[in-house]
Structure formats: structure tokens, C-alpha cells
Homo-oligomer: A and B are copies of this chain.
Amino acid sequence: MTEFDFIRRYLKQQNDADVVLGIGDDAAIVRPRSGFDLCFSSDMLLKNVHFFADVSPEDLAWKVLAVNISDMAAMGAVPRWALLSAGLPELEADWLQRFCDSLFALAQRFGVTLIGGDTTRGDLVFNVTIAGELPQGQGLQRHAAQAGDDIWVSGRIGLAAAALQCRLKKCELPPAVFAVCEQALLRPFPRVALGQAVLPFARAALDISDGLAQDLGHILQASGVGATVWLDALPTLPELKTLLPEAQWQACVLAGGDDYELVFTAPAEQRRAILEAAQRSNTPVSRIGIITETGRLKITRSADDDSEIQLTNTGFDHFDSI
């Protein structure tokens, strides 16, 4: 099978009224809708850095696209178009079929049209660029947090990190607990509905890819503010708290990353609006702290217990921690 057969057989599957010219030319052509800005994001995923070599093609395709859709969620944008570049060791028909079936199922689910990309011979490396729509002038930006804002997080965090620790033999979990955590690691669910629902009420937002402490740290730095986060308010899998040593659990929820939940801030007077938006989008949210004027991140046990908990491992950076 040639590169062009591959493109023809697997990638020309979708219809999109705003796509003037889809996959197969030097470039795709789309017609932006008036009244909308466009968001762009790219993520590269490499074997043994972002996924294990034994990952199934279904899980791999999901993750490659989902982490990009998640970036649109974190802006409050509607994901629209994606370009996939893939370096593959060989074109094996069954593997490709499974990869593409999973990719298009996810794309379909989120209304994303694949409009282009590139295939080449390589050792499992992927890059997705995604474009999404935002009502003109809107968008959840990291520099928009203000002192007094509530800090919210969606879903549950620390699960993906716990699964990773387990895979790396740094902890042991009962099979049922590991299965739940592994699902979070392999199949992060982009919070697109939540991002759009809170767009009118929230200020700053990010998706948690490198760990809550580090990602929230970016909001704080960009906004010139600080924060207090309550450890006991962090939503996680309850079993992890009892099964893991305290320090390891803290590392998972605060420095773990890879869960792709949203962390966002909103004025305290929007608390009800946020909860209603969460309900409308069928997404659990937890209020985990407040933005302060301190310029630094402080972790305490709870809103009522102000004594600080010291962190050592503050997050994942590709060039620091591998």
C-alpha cells in the first residue's frame, strides 16, 4: 500500500459544509464563518514519551486526537478541523483500520473534520493540529484570573498519573482500581461541552496536561496572581487516597497530569452560573480553592485549615524530568 492509497482508503470519509476542499491536495481550504475567531493548537506525541509501545491502535488514535480537542475545550472553543501527521514504522492494514476507526469515531463525536496531514516512515510519532471556532473576542485565556476568583476543576484528577506509576512499577493497585485509572490515562475525555458552557462566566482556563500545580501555576504567572488550593477538595478516585502513600497520592493529584480535566477560574458571584453550566454540560466540577494576591501557589488541607503543605514535585516538563 502506498502513502496515497492509504490517504485514499482511510482518510476521505467526512462531509463538512464549511470545508471547500478536503484531504488530498497541497492544502485544504475552509471557509471561516463571520463573527468567529479561530483557535489553533498543535500537539506532538511520541512513543515512549507520551504512550507505551504496546498501546492499542484504538487507544493511541483516541489519545492523539483527544489531547488536541482538549486544548479547544480549554479555550471554550468549538473544535472544527484537524490535520494529522503520522510517522509509522509500516502500513499494516489491520492496525491502520483500527487506528482510523477509533480516530474517526472520536472526531465524529466532537464534530471534528480531518482536513489534511502527512504520512511518512517513522517510529510511531504523531502530530495533530486542530482549529476551532470562538465567538469573536471571546476565549478563556490564562492571563485573565483575578484575585478573589473561585478555582474549579472538572471531573477527577490523579487517575492517569496513578495508572502511569503502576505501569512503571512504582506502586501497586488492585486490578479494578487500575482499570479505572488506566481508562483515564488512555482515553482522556475532552471537556468541550463544559468549556463552552462556562465561556460566558469563567475567566482563565487550562487543561491539565502537566499536573494541576504546574498548569495552575501558568495561570497564576500569566495573570500575576497567587492561589490557595485545598487538598481535600481535589476530586479524585477515593480508593487512591487510601491505597497510595500520602506523598504519592499528593504527587498524583497535584503533579500528575495527563488527565486533561479543565482547571478554570470564575468570579465568586458566578458560582451558581458555573454549577448550572456544569449540569447543562453533564460534567462534574469541584471548587478547589481561590485566587489570591500573594503571587504564589499555596496548598492547604482545606478551606478551614490554613497550614501550608509543601510540595516537592511540581509537574511534568519534558526537558526536566525525563
Contact = CB atoms under 8 A, between A and B. Distances in A.
B81 A40 contact: yes
A30 interface: yes
29 contacts: A2-B319, A3-B318, A3-B319, A6-B319, A20-B37, A24-B222, A25-B75, A26-B74, A26-B206, A27-B74, A27-B75, A27-B77, A27-B130, A40-B81, A40-B83, A42-B127, A42-B129, A43-B85, A43-B118, A44-B125, A46-B121, A87-B125, A90-B319, A120-B318, A121-B318, A121-B319, A125-B125, A127-B127, A127-B129
A141 interface: yes
Interface string A115-126: 111111110010
Contact of A44 (B4, B71, B118, B130): B118
Pick the most buried of A26, A85, A136, A142: most chain B CB atoms within 10 A of its CB.
Answer: A26
Nearest to A119: B318
Contacts of A207: 26
A158 interface: no
B21 A317 contact: no
Assembly stoichiometry (copies): 2
A41 interface: yes
Interface string A42-69: 1111100110000000000000000000
Contacts of A72: 27
Interface residues of A, number: 73
B30 A40 contact: yes
A134 B258 CA distance: 38
Contacts of A132: 27
Contact of A121 (B4, B34, B322): B322
Contacts of A171: none
